[in-house]
Structure 1
Amino acid sequence: MNSEEIQSPAAKGHPKGLYVLFATEMWERFNYYGMRAVLILFMTKALMFDKVFASNLYGSYTSLVYLTPLIGGYIADRYWGNKRSIIVGGLVMALGEFVLFFCASNYNAGGLSTLLFFSGLGLMIAGNGFFKPNISSLVGQLYPKGDRRTDAAYTIFYMGINVGGAIGPIVCGFLGDTGNVFDFKWAFLAGGIAMLLGVIVQLIFQTKYVVTPEGKPLGLVPKDAPKAMSNPVLIILGLAAFATLMIGMLYVEAKVFSFITYLLLASVLFIAFIIFSDKTLNKIEKERVIVIFIVAFFVIFFWSAFEQAGASLTFFAEEQTQRDLGFVNIPASVFASLNSIFVVSFAPIFAWLWIKLGKKEPSSPTKMAIGLFLLALGYLWIAFGVKDVSASVKVSMMWLVGMYALHTCGELCLSPIGLSLVNKLAPLKFASLLMAVWFLANAVANKFVGILSALYPPGIAEVKKAADAGINLQPILTKQVTPTAEELTKLKDLKIPFEYQSILGFQINSLYEFFIMFVVMAGIASLILFAITKKLQKMMHQDVID
């Protein structure tokens, strides 16, 4: 195909299939981010989980969400194809939301509500594993090789992700996060309906519009796939077994013993062994792979702080942020939409900036170091907002909004840059496996999200709950008084933490210290990445890539 043939379709705009995928992904992200925005509030307010348990469970859930696409992508490539995987994944996710709807309708039903809750989350994890990796891969297949519209197509698709990510928390927040715990069910119902809408769009329009440039349907079952794998009974049994496994893993992680961190570490070491034991890779290729592993390591520090949005930062929005505008009281969960709103607003500016800098444009590792620095700056901003503020005082929402704005700038310096870097540096034969390393880094980070969120200091909610039980919690927290045996029993029954958490021997005594922890973590990671940038550039052998 010559260059004229490649460029000529540009005059016709983008294929309609792109907008089908845009709509499907938008509804799915509405579903996921809307549900995620209220999840930790539902756990602590309705199910009455304490913040430490809820934070760790949240981290385990989101970690598995990033891990299962590795399995779903593998099965789609070899047995089911993208089309079937997207549909079944979407249906399983919708089922998960409806199970959570029934859980929220019976949140005080003891063992039943616990069973429904873990089942709903497990179904969400399983469904996401099949949906997420397959819809993204179809976007590039809509265009001929070398088509200049491909980059713009992914930009449009990325906007779909963020439109859904912005609308979902707003709708689910106003429906479910009303102050009445019985209303949480409407948030889960809205998420389930949104997911079904995405599946319906895909079912109706995929065959006609999601096609190759030659008009052939995309995402069909691989030609060499065993026919037995297309048997509906086997598909349903396989999905049921996979979902049951996810439900069991999540329950064991939360209630029995924590193993996900070790599983993720073993996965990374296994992938590293496979790649570096391959004797066909030359020295340049191996050095590039090392760069990918190093960058992925620093990404863990970024996402483990950034993704506090669904955990500790939701606690902060709920308890310590003045959300009453006079004419409306903004639900705490709605603040989760700020990141997506800022992405849509800032992405064109950053795209223009990199082009405008020309030869002065920073290298990819430098951009990622800048991203970590902006993340640290965001937490420094909010740390100043709560400095010397008591647990009973609510601060202006400008501190939370400003932090999210800085975090989004950091994300735009790191996330798309990192993905592009992996694509550039990965040897062709290990392209998928090294993309798995990127997602594993996200999975590890999300596990740490829960661990770090569990350090969130007791706040207004705990002080008020203790006061209702006749206990003055503040002097107990600051060790001015020692709680009596009766008070200790009451605090344990109410699941109120009466000691501040500590990390590496340092006790977190206030919100200021909690946020400063992230400033130090992201700041040190940023400085180290800045320091080794030139070394990484040499190992990338950019001149060979260009």
Structure 2
Amino acid sequence: MSSQERTQGEHSGFPLIAKVLIWRQLLWGAAFYGTYVLITKYFLNELNYSEADTLMMMGAFGAVGPVFSAIGGFVADRYIGSYRAVYIGYTVYTVGFALLGIGASMVSIPLSIFAIALIGYSRGLSATSPTVLLGNAFGRGRDMAFQQGLTVNYAINNFGSFLSQYLFPFMIAYVAYTGNFFISSVLMVLTLVLFFVYHKRLVETGNHLDKQSVSARVWLGFFLGSVLMLGLVYWIFANLEAGKYFLYSLGCIAILYFVVETFRESPEYRYKMSAVLITILILIGFYFYYGQMVTAMNLYSINLMGGHLFGFIPVRPESNLAFNPLWCCIMGGPLVAVYAWLEKHHISPSIPAKFGVAMIFCAMAFGVLALSTQFVGADGKVAADWVLWANFLQSTAELIVGALGAGYIFQLVPERMSAFAIGLRSVALSLSGILAASMSTSIALPKGQIITQTVIDAVYAGYFFKLAVMALVMAVLTFILARIITRLVKKGENIKDASGRVQHATANAH
């Protein structure tokens, strides 16, 4: 982007390329989440997966994205450029959704898994780069405008995902799963059209690698690495039990490496990085509950949720996943107002303490679900309102936390470890997603099981009640750990200040 365009952007709102990228987010959100909302029932009903295997598939799908996005970001930063990573990733998305549609028409498990693997690969390659492009579109010195852009981008993503997750399940009656997956592919084609039309400006918005040609050697390495990554993702989806332990191993190795590096650092950072390790444990605990939304809560809704909200708004059971982006859109403004009020009254809870508050909301969410099992109607269904309000509480917890973990971690590690430490947040997401899926298999019912009140009490009520109690315990532990984290960070800062005073005194002596 030219300096003249950026100057105009200062006075005319968002730059043109920022608007293009935000429209891209709308199309991507509708395409990805429109397919995502159908995956559970597609594997259950069309591919005849068991409930347990379907839950593990959803958990693995949620886990591979965060893990491989760290690799995708590294490749974009070091080898091919941010814009190329998005362009290539979205092209593969288009193919993946189309192949999933073909797989659905053929009822082919191998082709469906390969399509899901392509989508997982695309997510890993392209997930981090759009934020880089959006930041570059605003340019340096426009931090406030960039933050506003991120807020609008987040809201647009929620809007697109809400629309598709609400509407796609209704569209099954007209175009079946095949048609829905093809619609997602068409939406991704539209993003590629945007990229084609604004190609030159997007190249200028990318990083320095986007403005240079890439050598044949790099392309060959990228191709071979992509084949390896795609093969690994396919293997994880095709071998869920072994894949689960592979993802566990990756996460544990990453955390162990960070522990080793902690002991190698100076005393200042040793304390701070110890605080980061505790924060990672808190993140795993919180995102475990976030993972329950797409596993246990989703399956409960598919099996038992009624077909109307407030008695008159039609809703499909799969569309329970649409409640989360709906509440994120509604509650974003009020929560900003709450934070402004706290700041005005000089109340500034620490970031770990905010996680403790979020865990209380998680406890209430699963308490509501446990209570809902006692209000099964004559039709054997639970009113959709119960699931809506449980999502309200869980979404509020999500908004309280937001992306706080990544920024907090970034501030506490030395520069050489910053990228890896941010990647640990992705590791926490991955581990918690697999843990959530593994634990939720305890409520998986055999095929053909008749769901009676006795089954509901024994399976769902007990499970949700245990989750609610666990969340309360974790909230208390989080508040205790928050105090420990604060002390560790303070010790690190004291060492830094003492070292600074010694250096200053030494300099004055000379």
In the TM superposition, what are the counterparts of 1:61-460 in structure 2 within 5 Å? 61-107=61-107, 113-142=108-137, 143-145=139-141, 147-176=143-172, 178=173, 183-208=176-201, 210=202, 216-221=204-209, 227-229=215-217, 231=219, 236=223, 238-254=225-241, 258-273=245-260, 275-276=261-262, 278-279=264-265, 282-324=266-308, 329-358=314-343, 359-387=346-374, 389=376, 393-456=380-443, 458=445
Q: Which moved more, 1:250-259 or 1:418-427?
A: 250-259
Q: Which amino acid aligns with 1:536?
A: I
Give the aligned residue type for 1:290: S
Q: Could you tell me the TM-score, scaled by structure 2's length? A: 0.86
Task: Identify if the C-alpha distance between structure 1 residues 288 and 14 changes in structure 2 by more than 3 Å, giving closer, same or farther.
Answer: farther
Residues 489-508 of structure 1: pairs in structure 2 closer than 5 A: none
Task: Give the distance between the partners of 1:287 and 1:236, measured in 2 at CA.
Answer: 41
How does the TM-score come out when normalised to structure 1? 0.81
Separation in 1 of the partners of 2:335 and 2:313?
33
SS at match of 1:186: helix
Q: Which runs of 5+ in 2 are unaligned?
A: 1-5, 498-510
The answer (yes or no) to whether the contact 1:386–1:395 under 8 Å persists in 2 is yes
- Is the 8 Å Cα contact of residues 162 and 325 (structure 2) preserved in structure 1? yes
Separation (CA, whole Å) in 2 of partners of 1:237 and 1:203: 26
2:49 is equivalent to residue 49 of structure 1: yes
Contact 2:236 2:242 in 1 (8 A): no
**Which has the larger helix fraction?**
2
Give the unaligned 5+ runs of structure 1: 1-5, 108-112, 465-472, 479-499, 501-507
Alpha-carbon separation, structure 2, partners of 1:188 and 1:441: 30
**Which residue pairs with 1:462 in the alignment?**
448
- Pair 521,134 (structure 1): closer, same or farther in 2 beyond 3 Å: same
For residue 223 of structure 1, report the CA deviation from its aligned partner: 8.0
- Amino acid across the alignment from 1:62: G
Q: CA deviation at 1:137?
A: 2.0
Which 10-residue stretch deviates more, 534-543 or 199-208?
A: 534-543
CA distance in 2, matches of 1:218, 1:256: 35
Structure 2 residue aligned with 1:523? 472
Alignment check: 8 A CA contact 1:80 1:221 kept: yes
> In structure 1, how many angstroms separate the alpha carbons of the residues matched to 2:158 and 2:213?
35
**Cα shift at 1:530:** 0.9
Q: Distance in 2 between matches of 1:288 and 1:222?
A: 36
Instruction: Give the Å deviation of 1:356.
Output: 1.4
Question: Which residue of 2 is the match for residue 482 of structure 1?
Answer: none
Q: Residues 316 and 135 (structure 1 numbering): CA distance in 2 closer, same or farther, change over 3 Å?
A: same
Inter-CA distance 175–236: structure 2 relative to 1 (3 Å threshold): farther
1:348-406: per-residue Cα shift (whole Å, max 9, x none)?
21112112112113211111110111011111112111137599721211110100011
Instruction: Verify the 8 A CA contact 2:291 2:437 in the aligned structure 1.
Output: no
Check conservation: 1:31, 1:191, Cα contact below 8 A.
Answer: yes
| Greater CA drift, 46-55 or 319-328 | 319-328
Select between 198-207 and 519-528 the one with higher mean Cα deviation. Answer: 198-207
Shift of 1:146: 5.9
Larger mean Cα displacement after TM superposition, 423-432 or 87-96: 423-432
2:113 and 2:237 in contact (8 A); partners too: yes
Letter in 2 for 1:514: Y
Cα pair 2:286 2:355 within 8 Å, conserved:
no
**Per-residue CA distance 1:88-131 (angstroms, 9 max, x = gap):** 11111221111111111111xxxxx1211210111011111111
Provide the identity percentage. Answer: 17
Q: Identify the residue that residue 27 of structure 1 maps to in structure 2.
A: 27
Q: Secondary structure at the match of 2:49?
A: coil
Aligned residues: 486
Code of the residue aligned with 1:127 in structure 2: it is S
Distance change >3 Å, CA 120–CA 352, structure 1 → 2: same
Question: Quick one: structure 1 residues 79 and 256, their matched pair in 2 at CA, closer, same or farther if it must change by over 3 Å?
Answer: closer
CA distance in 2, matches of 1:362, 1:225: 48
Distance 1:408-1:205 versus aligned 2 partners, 3 A rule: same
Q: Deviations over 1:15-46 (max 9, x none)?
A: 22211221222222222222111111111111
Over the aligned positions, Cα root-mean-square deviation in angstroms equals 3.1
Deviation at 1:268, TM superposition (A): 2.2
SS of aligned partner of 2:445: coil
2-side partners of 1:474 and 1:10: how far apart? 62
Alignment check: 8 A CA contact 1:312 1:453 kept: yes
